[in-house]
Structure 1
Amino acid sequence: MLKITDLSVHYGVIQALKGVSLEVKEKEIVALIGANGAGKTTLLHAISGLLKKSGGEIEFLGQSIMKKNARDIVKAGITQVPEGRRIFPDMSVAENLWMGAYLRKDKAGIEADLQSVYQRFPRLAERKKQLAGTLSGGEQQMLAMGRALMAKPKLLLLDEPSMGLSPLLVKEIFSIIQDINAQGTTVLLVEQNAKMALGIADRAYVLETGSVVLSGTGAELAASEDIKKAYLGG
């Protein structure tokens, strides 16, 4: 579904991504783990069309998206849930969700998907008229995910969805990710909580200082002694 080949990104003279290659197959959950500053968010921004690429190739459903802008990439079926949620705090929960569907014209489909989001996240239904900025951290994460789902993505990019959440809420968010995937949406997950990420991932990649240094199934990486020492506290 998504194929990245030898991708490079520079911030001025600094090379943030150094020939990254990876693949996400349809209906998979693929995790991308690594320390702060490894280039994980940069990679998601490059896929989403938010950053200029300096080399390589990104293909989605067999078509190059290297030169597409962010709007056209959303239209093609890729939606990102950004790090730190980035909800619109002065808009209501319902208005935030409608913003996720801003490129769509199918009113009946939008309404049906809105109801589907409310079913998946009952707390959002209870707070639909509430200002998004007044929600708890966990509720804001659910809102960011619900807003992304309103775009009807084929591929959902998740950037640190567990950041700042309590262990109980982290479990709930990861359960929701699995549910979204089970219903047919492919997921590329960037996550500092390596244990949780590898626990739900079909496959995973490890990024270090802008390069992929290891890949395998989620179970293989979770069992790796190097990964245990570096990321799992073992």
Structure 2
Amino acid sequence: MLRIDGLNVYYGHIHALKDVALEVKQGEIVTLIGANGAGKSTLLKTISGLLKPKQGSIIFESEDITGRQAQLIVKKGISHVPEGRRVFANMSVEENLEMGAYLRRDKKEIKEDFQKVYDLFPRLYERRKQQSGTLSGGEQQMLAMGRALMARPRLLLLDEPSMGLAPLLVKTIFRMITEIKATGTTIMLVEQNANMALTIANQAYVIETGRVVLQGSAEELRASDQIKMAYLGGH
């Protein structure tokens, strides 16, 4: 579904991504793990058109989308849930979800998708008239994911969905990610909680200082001593 080859991205003089190559198959969850500042968020931003690569290609469903404008990439079927949630604080939950469908004109289907998001996140339905800035961190994460789903993506990019959430809520968010996958949406997941990410993912890539240093099935990486020591707290 997504193929990335020889991707090089710079922030000024800083070489943030170095010859990154990876693949995402349709219907899978692919997770990127690595330390803070390794380049994981940079990769998602480059896929979604927020950053322009210096070299390399991004092929989505056989089409080259390298360096395209962000709104065109959303139209193609890729939605990005950024790190830190970024909900529109002064708008209601409902208005935030409407913003997710901003590029769409199919009113009947938009209505159906509202219902799907509310079925997936019942808490959002309860809070639908509430200002988003007054929601808890977990509710804001649900809203950010729901808003991205309103664009009907075939590929969903999730950046640190569990960041700053209580352990119980982390489990809820991960359960919801697997439910989104079950509806047929392919997911690329960047996550500090490597253990949880590897539990739900099909494939995994380890990024260190802008390079892919390891890749394999999520099971293989969970079993690897190197990964256990570096990312899973040694157990």
Q: Quick one: which amino acid aligns to residue 32 of structure 1?
A: L
Deviation for aligned residue 1:198: 0.3
Secondary structure of 2:102's counterpart equals coil
Equivalent residue runs for 1:1-234 within 5 Å = 1-234=1-234
* TM-score w.r.t. length of structure 1: 0.99
The amino acid across from 1:216 in the alignment is: G
Shift of 1:190: 0.2
Q: Distance in 2 between matches of 1:54 and 1:219?
A: 33
2-side partners of 1:139 and 1:13: how far apart?
A: 38
Identity, in percent, stands at 67
1 CA distance for matches of 2:197 and 2:24? Answer: 15
Contiguous gaps of at least 5 residues in structure 1: none
- Give the whole-Å Cα distance in 2 for the aligned partners of 1:156 and 1:15: 26
- The 8 Å contact of residues 35 and 208 in structure 2, kept in 1 or not, is answered as yes
* CA–CA distance in structure 1, aligned partners of residues 14 and 32 of structure 2: 21
Residues in 2 aligned to 1:135 and 1:11: alpha-carbon distance in whole angstroms: 33
Q: Describe the superposition over 1:5-49 as per-residue Cα deviations: whole angstroms up to 9, x where unpaired.
A: 010001111100000000000000000000000000000000000
Instruction: Please state whether the residue corresponding to 1:165 is helix, strand or coil.
Output: coil
Deviation at 1:67, TM superposition (A): 2.8
CA distance in 2, matches of 1:98, 1:29: 26
User: How well do the aligned residues superpose, as a CA RMSD in angstroms?
Assistant: 0.4
| Code of the aligned partner of 1:92 | S
CA distance in 1, matches of 2:44, 2:207: 12
Opposite residue 148 of structure 1, the aligned amino acid is A
Q: Which amino acid aligns with 1:111?
A: K
Runs (5+) with no aligned partner, structure 2: none
Deviation per residue, 1:38-75 (Å, 9 max, x gap): 00000000000000110010000000001310000000
Deviation at 1:2, TM superposition (A): 0.4
Secondary structure of residue in 2 paired with 1:7: strand
Size of the alignment, in residue pairs?
234
- Aligned-residue offset at 1:115: 0.9
**CA deviations over 1:70-123 (Å, ceiling 9, x no partner):** 000000000000000000000000000000000000000001100111111111
CA distance in 2, matches of 1:190, 1:97: 23
The superposition leaves residues 185-220 of structure 1 with CA deviations (integer Å, 9 ceiling, x where unpaired) of: 000000000000000010000000000000010110
Aligned partner of residue 20 in structure 2, secondary structure: strand
Per-residue deviation, 1:128: 0.4
Q: C-alpha separation between the residues in 2 aligned to 1:169 and 1:191?
A: 15
| Residue type of the alignment partner of 1:145 | M
Contact kept in structure 1, 2:51 and 2:67, CA below 8 Å = no
Instruction: Tell me the distance in 1 between the aligned counterparts of 2:156 and 2:113.
Output: 16
Q: Report the residue type matching 1:108 in the other structure.
A: K
In 1, are the aligned partners of 2:93 and 2:128 still within 8 Å (CA)? yes
Q: Distance in 1 between matches of 2:26 and 2:196?
A: 21
Contact 2:82 2:158 in 1 (8 A): yes
- Tell me the SS of whatever aligns to 2:207: strand
